[in-house]
Amino acid sequence: MTVFQRYIGIDYSGAEVPTARLAGLRVYLTESDSAPVEVQPPSSPRKNWTRRGIAEWLVVQLSEGAPTIVGIDHGFSFPLRYFETHGLQLDWPAFLDDFQRHWPTDSDFVYVDFVREGELGNGPARTGSTRWRRLSEEYAGGAKSVFHFDVPGSVAKSTHAGLPWLRFIRQRLGSRVHFWPFDGWDIPGGRSAIAEVYPSLWRKGFPPEDRTPDQHDAYCIAAWLARADRDGMLATYLNPDLTPAERAVAHVEGWILGVAGPRKSAMPGRARRSKRGSHDCGRTRWPPFIGPA
């Protein structure tokens, strides 16, 4: 028996402004064993989505009864070093509020670059180093820092554009949607969920056929979520093999769904964990539990 009835994959883009229709924004959905199909924007003669349009559409979809899991390919939070450097609470909802005040990239005429360059908002007061990576990014292998702009494969711009829209959805849906893992590793039965994903983990497992790279990433997200749920593996990935200290870190930094734990290539057996100073989880620098485990 599956946990969810619908599976939505979203390939994100941080280009232009929230109301711009972008070819890089793609949405795929499946509700059964059939292959995911692309979802077009509702009530629009133009085929491309806007970031605002996707957020508003998700609010409607997740308000309905069918339990749905949504995978979005941008960062949902920042490394612990960011919280430490800026003196922030280790609290994800408070982080979203603080970020949106400094990076108002959900405003209709705001480009991410406007905030980066100090023309709007107060981005320079809330930034970080390209050397800072989250624990799940280190374990995923190949995932770039959420502060690494202007390089191939970067998620920095999409992350800085997308975070305020997570806040938007959370404010409108409240407890009707579970933001994993910030609201806990276990998703209540019948509840819809939104999770961060990294389609590079699965891209090679699905033939691209005639899809564009953006379409294929969204397709892969929806297809993998559905397949993992049918096979019974999704529950395993929703509870990755982490120590209590690592779970505490992930409750603040978030986690990439599909990363089961430390990479085997990074440790023989199960002995080695991350050696980076910001994630020295074997020490007592961070409390063993910051939130739901």
Higher pLDDT, 33 or 15: 15
pLDDT band at residue 33 using 50, 70 and 90 as cut-offs: confident
pLDDT digits over 123-146, tens only?
A: 999 999 999 999 999 999 888 999
What pLDDT, on a 0 to 100 scale, did the predictor assign at position 43? Answer: 73
pLDDT bracket for residue 105 (50, 70, 90): very high
In the three-class reduction of DSSP (H, G, I as helix; E, B as strand; rest coil), residue 179 is classed as strand
pLDDT at 115 over 50: yes
Both tokens of residue 86? Answer: 């800026």
> What is the side-by-side strand order in the sheet with 26-30?
37-38, 26-30, 6-11, 68-72, 192-196, 177-179
Q: CA-to-CA distance for 62 and 68, rounded, in angstroms? A: 7
pLDDT at residue 92 greater than cutoff 90: yes
Given a cut of 50, whether residue 277 has pLDDT beyond it is no
For residues 161 and 20, is the Cβ–Cβ distance under 8 A? no
Nearest partner of 217 among 7, 11, 6, judged by Cα: 11
Q: What is the DSSP letter of 176?
A: G
**pTM for the structure as a whole:** 0.90
Has residue 56 got a pLDDT over 60?
A: yes
Region 241-248: what's the mean pLDDT? 95
106-139 burial: b if 16+ Cβ within 10 Å, else e: bbeebbbbbbbeeebbebeebbbeeebbbbbbbb
pLDDT tens digits for 226-242? 999 999 999 999 999 99
- Confidence category of residue 279, pLDDT binned at 50, 70, 90: low
Average pLDDT over all residues of the chain:
89
The confidence score (pLDDT) of residue 213 equals 96
The share of the chain scoring above pLDDT 90, in percent, equals 82
Q: How far apart are CA 15 and CA 256, in angstroms?
A: 22
**How high is the pLDDT of residue 45?**
67
pLDDT the model gives residue 291: 37
Least confident of 154-158, 181-185, 224-228: 154-158
Q: State mean pLDDT over 270-276.
A: 40
Q: What would the mean pLDDT of 171-179 be, rounded to a whole number?
A: 97
Q: Judging by beta carbons within 10 Å of its beta carbon (0-12, 13-18, 19+), is residue 65 exposed, middle or buried?
A: exposed
CA 81 to CA 276: how far, in whole Å?
A: 11
Measured distance between the N- and C-terminal CA atoms of the chain, rounded to whole angstroms: 25
* Mean pLDDT for the stretch of residues 207-232: 97
CB 71 within 8 A of CB 221: yes
Q: C-alpha angle with apex 252: 241 to 174, nearest 5 degrees?
A: 105
Token look-up 């806007």 returns 50
The alpha-helical segments, DSSP class H, found in the chain are 51-63, 80-85, 92-102, 112-116, 135-140, 156-173, 213-231, 234-237, 244-253
For residue 145, the 8-state DSSP code is P
Residue 72 has pLDDT above 70, yes or no: yes
- Over residues 207-218, the mean pLDDT reads 97
User: Exposed e or buried b for every residue in 190-199, given b needs 16+ CB within 10 A?
Assistant: ebbbbbbbbb
